[in-house]
Amino acid sequence: MRRTKILATVGPATQRPEQLVALLDAGADAFRLNFSHGTDDEHRDILRRIHAAMRKRRREAAVVADVPGPKIRLGEIGGGSVELVAGREWTLDHRPSPGDLRRVGTQVPSFDRLARKNDPILLGDGNVELVVVRAGGSKIVTRVVNGGTVSSHAGLFLPRAKLRLSVFGRKDRHDAALGLSEGVDYLALSFVRTGSDVLGARRWLERQAGGRDVGIIAKIERAEALGSIDSILRAADGIMVARGDLGIEVPLERLALEQKMLVRRANDAGRFVIVATQMLLSMLTSPRPTRAEATDVANAVLDGADAVMLSEESAVGQYPIDAVRWLARIAEATESAFDVRGLRARGTVGPGEPERAVAAAAVELAEGVRARAIVTPTHSGRTARLVARLRPACPVVALSNSAPTRRRLALVGGVMSMPAPVHRNLLELRARAALLVERALAGGSGPIVLTAGYPVEGRPTNLVTLVDSGHGSTAPKPVRERRP
């Protein structure tokens, strides 16, 4: 079983029904839809096709709605793009007409007040750099420092400006409501600064029908988010290390260090973490990744990432299915060569944390008996996440009668989710766990460690028991039990 999950962005290259099925067959565990592009009708159609693909393959994958957030973008450019030349002036204004070699419109009111003379402005992925000559009168006159191609709707970054735009504004709420109506599992918030940004979105979700079944992924794209990462991790279900915009906001030579810090902090906090942006960028036009890209993916796995993400590679690339296959191959090869227990979350179990104590006992017991799997019945997914946080050497099998919970767990590293009805007693649960593990992990051997709420399901997880899998027997005998 591959521990590291794969999140694939759906776009023009993969939005047809047969392509979505092919992504699942290649190893995709989750789908991302970027709401920065496309219309409501297009988004609705793609989300419905994603669910149809899952039904066709009888697979449960997480669906992530990525809302655009308060990013300043350029307006339309005549012909789709323009080639800026170093030394030339280029004006940013509010005029709606298409841009050209002399000017372009933007979408943020009073943006000229954010810039001062000699401030840098970065466009797109940061390769094109401007410097402010003068600002005022609803326009910013700039000089091109580093030229290059600039496309319509490219991002515009003002590194020295303190933007105070709403992280979850009207457009984001509109997109999120559409996603909720079509059964998304996660909302990815762009340009999160603090935990309060996440809590604001959480309060909005709780007021919406179906919103309680939707998790929140905080995208770490701003330098100021690094100083608030603890509050963000407390408020979010997981984070995404969005290296594109983050690599513009922090010195490029520190980007790898910040990535490693974020992955470790997420591991310690028991939150899943996705490493994203340009994982296999060369596969936009090439059927194979570069050696550097393969190493980058492997390092994300070694650092402890729960998931790795494809952006342009699967959305608009020429080889989207191959890109998923390569991520799976690299992750599997990397996982087979190192001990995941070295990534175990730091810290001890404190008083008043019985579920964490049960999770720790389950992992300790599993390692002592070389268990085949740790089985965790769960309604919310909390127990499975607590066990997975400790990076056991064996798979974590989450049994749940909640489809939204099973789909959300598709982004948690090392967890396999399976549908199971509510059990009536412990003996029934033990028999079912052994049978389901036998089906899911055919060919393996060894006992099973089982967590449960005793005496009946619905109680907090308070028991760990060892089950002899019996090589398919539905009547395993109890070996021993622990209760904290």
Catalytic site positions: 32, 73, 219, 277
d(CA 48, CA 61): 13
List the beta bridge partners of residue 122: 129, 157
Residue showing tokens 């841009």: 99
**Burial grade of 223 (CB within 10 A; 0-12, 13-18, 19 or more):** middle
Return the DSSP state at 409: G
For residue 366, CA distances in Å to 354, 377, 454, 466 come to: 18, 16, 20, 9
Confirm if 121 and 156 have CB atoms less than 8 A apart. yes
d(CA 112, CA 218): 28
Residue showing tokens 């399901």: 457
Strands 120-123 and 156-157: antiparallel
**Burial grade of 449 (CB within 10 A; 0-12, 13-18, 19 or more):** buried
- Residues sharing a CB contact under 8 Å with residue 49, sequence separation 6 or more, in sequence order: 15, 16, 17, 20
Q: Cis before residue 120, ω within 30 degrees of 0?
A: no
d(CA 386, CA 383): 5
Amino acid found at 461: T
Other CB atoms closer than 10 Å to residue 364's CB: what's the count?
A: 15
Residue showing tokens 């401030």: 119
Confirm if 67 and 10 have CB atoms less than 8 A apart. no
Q: What φ, ψ does residue 295 adopt, rounded to 5°? A: -70, -40
Amino acid found at 379: H
Confirm if 165 and 154 have CB atoms less than 8 A apart. no
d(CA 383, CA 334): 27
Amino acid found at 131: V
Chain CA centroid to CA 246, Å: 15
d(CA 258, CA 271): 17
Task: Could you list the beta-strand ranges (E) of 116-159.
Answer: 120-123, 128-136, 139-146, 148-151, 156-157
